[in-house]
Structure 1
Amino acid sequence: MDFQDTSFTREHRFSLGIETESGRSYLSIPVSNGPVDYEEYYEISAADHERLGHDDAAAAAFADECRRHEHDGLLIQKPGWNRGTPA
């Protein structure tokens, strides 16, 4: 998979982008499981990608919901047994 960010915010710690092989849109958040830092990628619709790209408050709220594991069904790559916590 090739994740290409189209925008990001340091303040709210998330990125929006496109997975280039499939064309799927995503929002990603940084996580850490101790030994390694990585990103979790949540699939969003193209319409949501466009909307969240223009509405920082809505995107930050969605990212916070992802940090609380409220959208785990949207994870593009399922976490293993040692799932990280939001960084």
Structure 2
Amino acid sequence: MKFQDALVYREHGFCVGTEQCSGRFYVSIPVSNGMADYEEYYEINQATFELFERDPEAALPFVSRCRKRELDELLIIQPGTNRGTAI
């Protein structure tokens, strides 16, 4: 998989982009498990991608739910047993 960020919103710690091989859209958040820092990628549809790219503030409720693990069914890559917590 090759994730290409279209928008990096450092102030609120998330990115919006496209997975290049499949064309799927995502929101990513940084996480850490104490041994490594990495990103979790949550799939979104094209309309949501376009909205978040145009208005990053509109993504904040979605990002908050991702950090609380409320949207795990949207994870593009399932986490391992030593899953990190949001940074």
Q: TM-score, normalised by structure 1?
A: 0.96
CA distances 1:32-66 after superposition (whole Å, capped 9, x unpaired): 00010000000000111001112222212211110
Equivalent residue, structure 1, for 2:63: 63
% identity of equivalent residues: 55
Equivalent residue, structure 1, for 2:36: 36
Alignment: residue pair count: 87
- Within 2, Cα distance between the matches of 1:71 and 1:13? 17
Off by >6 Å, runs of 4+ in structure 1: none
| SS of residue paired to 2:12 | coil
CA distances 1:56-86 after superposition (whole Å, capped 9, x unpaired): 2221221111000111000000001100000
After TM superposition, the structure 1 stretch with the greater mean CA deviation from structure 2, 54-63 or 27-36, is 54-63
Q: Structure 1: give runs of 5+ residues left out of the alignment.
A: none
Q: Structure 2: give runs of 5+ residues left out of the alignment.
A: none
Query: Pairwise mapping of residues 44-55 of structure 1 onto structure 2 (< 5 A)?
Result: 44-55=44-55
CA RMSD between the two structures: 0.7
Q: TM-score, normalised by structure 2?
A: 0.96
